[in-house]
Chains A and B, each alone.
Chain A
Amino acid sequence: ELKVEQNPLFLSMQEGKNYTIYCNYSTTSDRLYWYRQDPGKSLESLFVLLSNGAVKQEGRLMASLDTKARLSTLHITAAVHDLSATYFCAVARTGNQFYFGTGTSLTVIP
């Protein structure tokens, strides 16, 4: 079974600081997703990464994928309070089932 490890589980950071969330997975996959969830809300898709070396950026968030290392990162630049949420990575394989990491609960402190 494909295993996905995400760390850290909890992240408290000050506004304006940078940090990276890591997502490791155990076997090859077709696609890697990053989702954001606000309390009581749906998981919102942030990025889809399809190939080795893929890098996508949206605002203060940047995601990258290294398929050889089986590693994806979500980098936060100059954090702001609005980024406080839980972030999940999910790996998809041909069978279409998603395998999720444990999630990272991010709190940005003013």
Chain B
Amino acid sequence: EAGVTQFPSHSVIEKGQTVTLRCDPISGHDNLYWYRRVMGKEIKFLLHFVKESKQDESGMPNNRFLAERTGGTYSTLKVQPAELEDSGVYFCASSQRRGNEQFFGPGTRLTVL
């Protein structure tokens, strides 16, 4: 069974540009999460989807971040316009049911110059 996949693995963009990250959860997992790790800090929660609905977006840093999960399958996280402090590793995770173990993808390393 394929695990959680993320694309791209790395992205280097300039301040002010737009970047879209993609996450494909494990098939059949209704719950999808986005997390971010800024250099040297802890991995922090961004938001949680149940199917196509946003269940909790309390961790989204500001309105430059937009997450979608159309059709309840893959999800995208768009940063527009990107700022220097957005640099970090963005992880996606999925779980079959709320409260179950979360399975993580390898992350997308975003560098904003």
Partner-B contacts on A (CB < 8 A) = 4, 6, 9, 30, 33, 35, 40-43, 45, 48, 88, 90, 92, 94-103
Contacts and interface: CB of A to CB of B under 8 A. Distances in A.
A103 B43 CA distance: 8
Contact of A95 (B4, B35, B56, B107): B56
Interface of B: 3-4, 9, 31, 33, 35, 37, 40-45, 48, 56, 58-59, 91, 93, 95, 98-99, 101-107
Q: Closest 10 CB pairs between A and B? A: A43-B104, A100-B43, A97-B45, A100-B42, A102-B42, A42-B106, A42-B104, A96-B98, A41-B106, A42-B105
Given A33-B101, A42-B104, A43-B91, A97 B48 contact: yes
A95 B35 CA distance: 15
5 contacts: A48-B101, A96-B56, A96-B98, A97-B56, A98-B33
Contacts of A6: 42
Contacts, number: 58
Contacts of A35: 104
Contacts of A33: 101
B44 A100 contact: yes
A87 to B, nearest CB: 12
Contact of B45 (A42, A98, A102, A103): A98
A97 B72 CA distance: 19
B42 A96 contact: no
A96 B3 contact: no
